[in-house]
Structure 1
Amino acid sequence: MPQIVIENLFNLTIDVPRDGGKVIEIIHQNGIDWMHACGKKGRCTTCKIIIKEGIENLTEPTDREILFRTQGRLKPNERLACQVQIIEGKLVGRVADVNKFPHIKYSE
């Protein structure tokens, strides 16, 4: 079963359901607040996740992600949580410092 691990949320581990879905939806379904200023439509980069491990376990970048990369708004190790899906294995990622919520306690 695929897993999402969020390093700077105390290595929070989420088992991905069989039907999968976008990474942000899986995170939200597990009660974790994750920024998404554009309403999960791929129009901003506030939902980006910094990939530490498992980039090969994700779907290919979408047109929106490619656009943001060409604009310099997404690095090669960053993906939009509202666009990407985990296919298999494990995804280890982090919340970007700029997108952290003040009401959530983060780890290093």
Structure 2
Amino acid sequence: MPKIIIVNMDHLEIQTNRTIGKVIELIHENYIDWMHACGKKGRCTSCKMIVDEGMENLSPLSAREKYYAEKGRLKPAERLTCQTILKTGSIKIRVAEENKFSHIDYSE
């Protein structure tokens, strides 16, 4: 069963019965606010996550992620939640500093 742990939201755990899904969909299906300024289309980096563990459980970089990586807007441990599919297993992620909401208390 795929699992997402959001480290800087007090290690919030999301488990899903889905066998596959985009990370942002899994987060939103669990009623967790996560920024996505372009409507989940990969046209910005506002849904960026920092992957602490489990990169091997994610889909390869999408064309949009490659574009932003080439422009220096995505570092090696960063992925776009709207483009990344959690295939299996677990991931530990963090909300990027520049994408934090003001109405949420983050633990880091």
TM-score, length basis structure 1: 0.97
Q: Conserved in 1, the CA contact under 8 Å of 2:2 and 2:88?
A: yes
What's the counterpart of residue 71 of structure 1?
71
- Equivalent position amino acid for 2:64 in 1: R
Task: Note the C-alpha offset of 1:89.
Answer: 1.1
Q: Which runs of 4+ in 1 moved over 6 A?
A: none
Task: Note the C-alpha offset of 1:64.
Answer: 0.2
> What CA RMSD, in Å, does the superposition of the two structures yield over aligned residues?
0.8
Task: Note the C-alpha offset of 1:16.
Answer: 2.5
Matched, 1:5 2:5: yes
Task: Note the C-alpha offset of 1:19.
Answer: 4.2
What's the counterpart of residue 88 of structure 1?
88
What's the counterpart of residue 57 of structure 2?
57
- Equivalent position amino acid for 1:37 in 2: A
Task: Note the C-alpha offset of 1:20.
Answer: 2.6
Alignment length (residue pairs)? 108
TM-score, length basis structure 2: 0.97
Deviations for 1:9-33, whole angstroms, at most 9, x for unmatched residues?
Answer: 0000001332432100110110100
* Structure-to-structure mapping, 1:32-43, within 5 angstroms: 32-43=32-43
**Paired-residue identity, %:** 57
- Equivalent position amino acid for 2:43 in 1: R
Task: Note the C-alpha offset of 1:97.
Answer: 0.7
